[in-house]
Structures are given as structure tokens and as C-alpha cells.
């Protein structure tokens, strides 16, 4: 499995799965299934993905204190960010929230250069810069015309940005001494540990859709995220964090394109520039 191009395959798969996930994440909630319960379904579908991963390594998990600590740090940063993401999506639209959060590779890049001493070619640096600039443009289309009130969702998005940037860094750091499958297992465990918090945040006094468009659709949608997360762990095992993370951070391109198709909306100038730069970034990073 370990080839010079394996990281690229896993990174592309992560980008695709997360991009499609972002486009459909709001559908269950709009159908009457609370976002907090959406988190519960996300945590649950992480379990079968984790079991498949552990089967591949014949259940040989790292369980020393260092591995447990690193695994839980990665897991809780990701799961905690996920929980806050669902909360942010209560007030802010996905096509704004996701691009804003997609800026998290900037933090990962800085940490990887400073602490992991990672280096890259000029072409890949150009790709990284293109990815960051693309994320900036993707974060701004319609910001002045959405009519979204309040800033609570914006602050939550900023916190998720920090948590996911740190998670990607620690994911790469822990890959040096841990199997990718073990890391993912701890990610799944962390997600399950926060289920009581999600249930506590849920308003059960409202009418909840328990039908096909509720928990069942949510499970299918969030399975895309779970599989993408597993692919990311593998991508970071074989590739540099300063290359892999900016590339997977471009998943909002897919989210926006699908959303535009679903709602028949024409992209503005900023959105068009962002998508164009994202395509260029993917080309440059695929060196």
C-alpha cells in the first residue's frame, strides 16, 4: 500500500467524501432531525469504520499511555470540533461555515513547519499558497448578502478552525509512532464519549423526525465523513501534513459546486475565483 502516490489517492478520497458530506449535511436537520442528534449518528457510524480498520491490522492496537494520550487528543479535537460544527450550522449556512473552517490548514502548516520541520518543493509551496488563497475567497462569497443575523455561529466556526488545525497536526505527529488504524480507533472512541454531551444539548421538547429522512438519512450522510476521516489518517501516514491538509481543506469546492447545482444559484465573482484557484492548487499539490 505504501507507494509514492498512495498519499495522493487517500487525500483525494478524503476531499471528495468530505465535499459531498458538506453539501448534504443540512438536509436531515431541515427535515426535522436536530443537528445534535446528527452528531450522535456521526459518532455511531464511526464505529463500523473503526472495526474495519482494526481488522486490517489484526486488532493490534497501541495502548501505551503515550499512544492513548495522543489518540484521545486527536479524537477529542476532531469530535469536539464536529459537535461545535453542528451547533454553528444551526444559525449559519453550510456554504459559509464550511469554507470558513476550511482555512484550518493554515494553522496546521505553521505548526508542521515549526515543530515537525517539514519542507516542500517550490511547486508544492505554490499549491499550498493557492489552496490558502482559494479558501479565503471561498469563505467570502455572499457574506454581505446572506441576511444571516448574529455572530455566535461565526465564533463557533473560528473555534472549529483552531481545533481541526490542531487535530491535523497531532494526527501527523502521532503517525510517527502509531498505526493509522489505531489513531482512527481513538477518534471513534472520542466521538462516542461525547454522545452524552450531544444528547444534553438536544431539545427533545420539539417534534423530531424519526423517519427515513431523520436518523437513517443522517447516518448515510455522516458515513461519508467517517470514511473521509479514515482516508485522511492514511494520507497523513504517507504524505506531508503541509501538503495533505491544504489539499483536503479544499473539500468546500465540491460542497459549493453541489450546492449550486441543487439550488440553481449562479456563483459570484469571489466564488468563481476561489473555485479556479482550488483547481490550480490540486494540480500543483499532486506533484
The pLDDT assigned to 60 comes to 86
Contact criterion met (CB below 8 Å) for 221 and 205: no
- Grid cell at residue 123: 511547486
Chain-centroid distance of CA 48 in Å reads 19
In 188-238, which ranges are E strands?
none
Contact criterion met (CB below 8 Å) for 222 and 8: no
The pLDDT assigned to 144 comes to 42
**Sequential DSSP letters for 72-106:** HHHHHHHHHHHHHHHHHTTTS-HHHHHHHHTTTHH
Q: Name the CA dihedral angle for 212, 217, 220, 223, rounded to a multiple of 10 degrees.
A: -130
- Cell numbers 467570502 correspond to what residue? 140
**Sequential DSSP letters for 171-216:** HHHHTTTS-HHHHHHHHHHHHHHTHHHHHHH--TTS----SIIIII
Contact criterion met (CB below 8 Å) for 105 and 135: yes
The pLDDT assigned to 140 comes to 59
Rounded to whole angstroms, how far apart are CA atoms 234 and 260? 31
Nearest to 212 by CA among 49, 23, 44, 33: 33
Contact criterion met (CB below 8 Å) for 214 and 30: no
The pLDDT assigned to 215 comes to 92
Burial class (CB in 10 A: 0-12, 13-18, 19+), 198: buried
Ranges under pLDDT 70 in the chain: 1-4, 93-96, 99, 120, 138-151, 263-267, 282, 285-287
Amino acid at each position: 500500500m505504501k507507494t509514492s502516490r498512495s498519499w495522493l489517492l487517500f487525500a483525494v478520497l478524503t476531499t471528495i467524501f468530505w465535499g459531498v458530506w458538506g453539501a448534504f449535511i443540512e438536509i436531515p436537520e431541515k427535515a426535522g432531525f436536530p443537528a445534535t442528534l446528527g452528531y450522535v449518528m456521526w459518532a455511531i457510524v464511526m464505529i463500523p469504520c473503526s472495526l474495519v480498520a482494526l481488522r486490517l491490522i489484526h486488532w493490534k492496537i497501541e495502548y501505551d499511555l503515550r499512544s492513548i494520550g495522543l489518540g484521545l487528543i486527536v479524537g477529542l479535537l476532531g469530535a469536539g470540533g464536529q459537535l461545535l460544527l453542528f451547533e454553528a450550522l444551526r444559525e449559519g449556512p453550510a456554504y459559509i461555515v464550511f469554507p470558513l473552517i476550511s482555512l484550518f490548514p493554515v494553522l496546521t502548516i505553521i505548526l508542521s513547519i515549526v515543530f515537525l520541520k517539514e519542507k516542500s518543493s517550490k511547486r508544492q509551496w505554490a499549491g499550498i499558497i493557492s489552496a490558502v488563497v482559494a479558501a479565503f475567497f471561498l469563505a467570502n462569497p455572499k457574506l454581505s448578502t446572506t441576511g444571516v443575523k448574529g455572530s455566535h455561529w461565526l465564533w463557533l466556526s473560528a473555534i472549529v478552525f483552531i481545533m481541526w488545525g490542531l487535530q491535523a497536526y497531532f494526527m501527523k505527529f502521532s503517525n510517527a509512532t502509531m498505526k493509522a488504524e489505531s489513531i482512527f480507533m481513538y477518534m471513534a472512541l472520542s466521538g462516542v464519549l461525547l454522545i452524552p454531551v450531544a444528547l444534553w444539548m438536544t431539545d427533545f421538547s420539539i417534534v423530531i423526525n424519526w423517519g427515513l429522512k431523520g436518523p437513517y438519512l443522517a447516518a448515510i450522510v455522516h458515513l461519508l465523513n467517517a470514511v473521509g476521516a479514515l482516508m485522511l489518517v492514511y494520507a497523513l501516514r504517507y504524505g506531508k501534513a503541509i501538503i495533505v491538509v491544504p489539499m483536503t481543506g479544499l473539500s468546500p469546492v465540491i460542497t459549493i459546486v453541489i450546492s449550486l447545482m441543487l439550488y440553481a444559484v449562479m456563483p459570484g465573482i469571489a466564488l468563481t475565483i476561489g473555485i479556479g484557484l482550488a483547481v490550480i492548487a490540486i494540480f500543483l499539490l499532486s506533484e
